[in-house]
Structure 1
Amino acid sequence: MKYLKIIAKDIWRYSFGWIGSRYIYREIVFPFIYSILVVTFVLLTNFLVRTIDKLLGKGLPIKIIFNFFYLNMAWIIALSVPMATLVAILMAYGRLSEDNEIIAMRAGGVNFISILSPGIVFGVITCIVMIYFNNNILPEFNHRARLLTRDIYRKRPDLDIEPGYFVENISGYSIYVSRRRKEELEGVVIYSPDREGHQVTIYADRGKLNVIENSVIFDLFDGEIHELDKKEFENYRILKFKKHRIVIPVDNLTLKRTESGRRGDREMTIKMMKEKIKEYEKQRESIRKKIIYMAKNYINNAENMEINHLIKIVKRRKAEINKGRMKLEMGKFLDTAGRIIGEYQLFMVYQRQINRYLVEIHKKFSIPFACIVFVLVGAPLGIMVRKGGMFVGATLSIFFFVLYYVFLIGGEELADYAYVSPFWAMWTPNLLLAAVGAYLIHYTRWEQKQIEFKFIKKILKKLRLEGNSKGKDREYESC
């Protein structure tokens, strides 16, 4: 702890009290601005290519199209700033190293941490700004962008169903879909919380969504309808079906959707998501109590078991009965087991929703914190690379950024399905790159070696030779 306090004091002193710090800040700021413009342009162009076909042919005014891209600029900036930070740090410290200014500073008695301190402070400031941006500005822009997108798509009536999220803007229904390919749906759950004292939950392996005149139609296939009397849990019915149709009037739906303030997880502030988590935790706890109530008559000590362990026991006993390995006097157990498993499926749907919100909460901090981590990686790399400028800076930035987002997206998928905790899913990429950065700082501080990237030069030289030989072959052929 004492050593960390000394480092913190050095960083503060050399970040603002040392004349060389202002020089380093200037070296960072201009590449940072340039990098933001370049990265934003690339991401915006990619977004334009992916969405332009959805806008064409709808007779939209130019103002609406410009507003559509303006509202989507927020998430593009949220992605481009961390990457621009890495590019700027690589270029700034690379140029200082190339001109031997790093060596001159160290010869003048400035320690290595002090040389890095302006970059670290720049990363911290960028991190703080992006945390505010991600929590206060980005959700509002995302929400307005989705509303505008919905209004545009309403020219071709469709339903605002996103895979992996509850749609709660349909009166009396909550709808969850695992996957969606246009009109084709997979893993459909339709939940009616309260209908004259009855809870109705519909599960279907697959389904199809159609809009016909003034109605939205769900055609569901291979599923079950679970109906529970909330006053008497014993009155539980399960109806299996090959095909089931649900018809919703479009006029009523459109009215609810227009008045609805529903937001997705990426359209919420941290406060909003915490409130949503509390709401889903109450629903989950209610379902857990139902499961325990139904199981306690057949399984000893069910009240004190973890829900996952209890479900494993239920499934195992059900399988043993079906195979004839076990006989129970209670003939209702198989029916009860089916009810318990059905309720557990709904329990896990709520758990996945909670995990999604927790992932987004951690993401609002972990992605901005990557600005600091990228400084720890980029500064020593820039010093070791020295030559290469924007090309090498961009190449290394893309490599580390892709690596970072592969871990981030993979962790998000694992956390959504409760394989890992949301905290570790979102912070592991930062911890791994921070460890790499710490090693590079230690290596650069004591070894003072540079990376020449000779293998890149060899590849470029080989490509030039091949290009020249092909050109000569064409000359001989023309003769």
Structure 2
Amino acid sequence: MKIVRSYILRECLTPFFLSLVVLTCVFLLGNLIQLTNLVINKGVSLSTIGRVFLLYIPVLLGYTLPLSCLISVALAFSRLSSDNEILALRASGVHLGRLLTPLILLGFIVSLFAIILNERIIPYAHTEQHRLVKSLGAANPTALLEPGMFIKAFNNQIIFIHKIDGSKLSNITIWQPRPDGPTRTIIAKGGEFTPVPGKDQIKLKLINGTSDEPNLNEPNKFYKLNFKTFFMDLDISSNKEKLEKKPKGMTLKELQKEIDNLEKLFVDTSNLRTEYYRKITWSFAALIFVLLSFPISVITNKRERSANAVLVILCAVVYYLLSLGCEALSVKNIFPPAIIMWVPNMVAATGAVILNLKCVS
């Protein structure tokens, strides 16, 4: 049995590493246009572009590792099944459940590495990428405006922008903490920004929103003021060298600390909580994909290998679409992140258990 397990593991490892290299290279090609634009239009040096390019690799591994597990098991067992090797093993008295042992070991090892990848390596890569991009635009204060992160580079302001398209902003929230009173909140559906020439400032125009304005009779209370346009000057003179981390650039410990700090200011932290649980749940995708791919591959015959490939790819697509959907529900605070972010794993794991029980029975 030990020989069989070693044979199964060898059959899976070759397509695993091949798939990992091919998928990572394909995903990297998707970033070449953006990097080429920096070289041609922005005059960025090739050495800097090379560093940015290399920093994409660990980020992409978070996606390609689970997919490689899925593809490698599918390819290995599709071949074994079509060549009647699975039938020969069963005829020899080998229970199919025993073949799962090396696969679970492979999935477990990859998942452990994924935990380290999501907790340490990817945050470092994201932070270094951000540092390089910021250094490229150091002369332009608008380089500090990035979507999907809490921006604290401006004096006495915490800004969150959902989307940035050129100089156009969408869904902006600004918190202005006050040491002697409640936090003032400004919310706008849209906005525009322009840098102030020669100064570390940005002129911000907010469109269609509400702002908290202090009540003259009760300074510790606010009243809501609706506006069509609202102008602000954002100053970064005292925080020019400060590097803000995106949620994806934070470790679990840093995320929890940031959540605790922002909640004290009554700031919505659903975006940070979503990233916190995403790092955890996606780390187990490799193990789940292995358990899904095994039964799908075994029950197919030689004429159904193409159907088998479609099925495993469909499983991956459904898993990631479900993950993105749950992530959107979590960010909007429709469901608690601690619950909704586990739904894709629970659905996939349930399907894997049912399929494996049918396969080995």
Aligned pairs for 1:212-361 (under 5 A) are 212-214=196-198, 215-228=201-214, 232-233=218-219, 236=222, 239-249=225-235, 252=237, 256-258=239-241, 260-284=242-266, 350-351=267-268, 353=269, 355-361=270-276
Aligned to 1:146: 130
Q: CA deviation at 1:202?
A: 2.9
Aligned to 1:58: 42
- Partner letter of residue 261 of structure 2? E
- Partner letter of residue 374 of structure 1? F
- Which residue among 166, 173, 183 is the counterpart of 1:182? 166
What is the aligned-residue identity percentage? 26
- Which residue among 385, 398, 401 is the counterpart of 2:313? 398
Aligned pairs for 1:50-129 (under 5 A) are 50-129=34-113
| 8 Å CA contact retained: 2:176, 2:184 | yes
In 2 relative to 1, CA 116–199 (structure 1 residues): closer, same or farther, beyond 3 Å? closer
Aligned pairs for 1:3-42 (under 5 A) are 18-42=2-26
Aligned to 1:430: 345
- Which residue among 410, 413, 419 is the counterpart of 2:325? 410
The one-character-per-residue Cα deviations of 1:262-314 (angstroms, maximum 9, x if unpaired) are: 21111111111111121122222xxxxxxxxxxxxxxxxxxxxxxxxxxxxxx
In 2 relative to 1, CA 360–201 (structure 1 residues): closer, same or farther, beyond 3 Å? closer
**Secondary structure of 2:328's partner?**
helix
In structure 2, what is the Cα distance between the partners aligned to 1:358 and 1:66?
A: 33
- Partner letter of residue 26 of structure 1? R
Once the two structures are overlaid, the 10-residue window that deviates more, 38-47 or 101-110, is 101-110
| 8 Å CA contact retained: 2:154, 2:235 | no
- Partner letter of residue 231 of structure 2? R
The one-character-per-residue Cα deviations of 1:420-461 (angstroms, maximum 9, x if unpaired) are: 221332221122222222232233234xxxxxxxxxxxxxxx
- Structure 2 unaligned blocks of 5 or more: none
- Normalised by the size of structure 2, how large is the TM-score? 0.90
In 2 relative to 1, CA 283–269 (structure 1 residues): closer, same or farther, beyond 3 Å? same
- Partner letter of residue 177 of structure 1? I
- Partner letter of residue 372 of structure 1? L
Is 1:371 aligned to 2:286, yes or no?
yes
In structure 2, what is the Cα distance between the partners aligned to 1:42 and 1:106?
A: 38
Is 1:168 aligned to 2:170, yes or no?
no
| 8 Å CA contact retained: 1:86, 1:374 | yes
| 8 Å CA contact retained: 1:197, 1:229 | no
Aligned to 1:345: none
The one-character-per-residue Cα deviations of 1:332-387 (angstroms, maximum 9, x if unpaired) are: xxxxxxxxxxxxxxxxxx23x2x222222222222121111111111111112343
In structure 2, what is the Cα distance between the partners aligned to 1:266 and 1:280?
A: 17
- Normalised by the size of structure 1, how large is the TM-score? 0.69
| 8 Å CA contact retained: 2:111, 2:287 | yes
**Secondary structure of 1:158's partner?**
helix
In 2 relative to 1, CA 443–203 (structure 1 residues): closer, same or farther, beyond 3 Å? closer
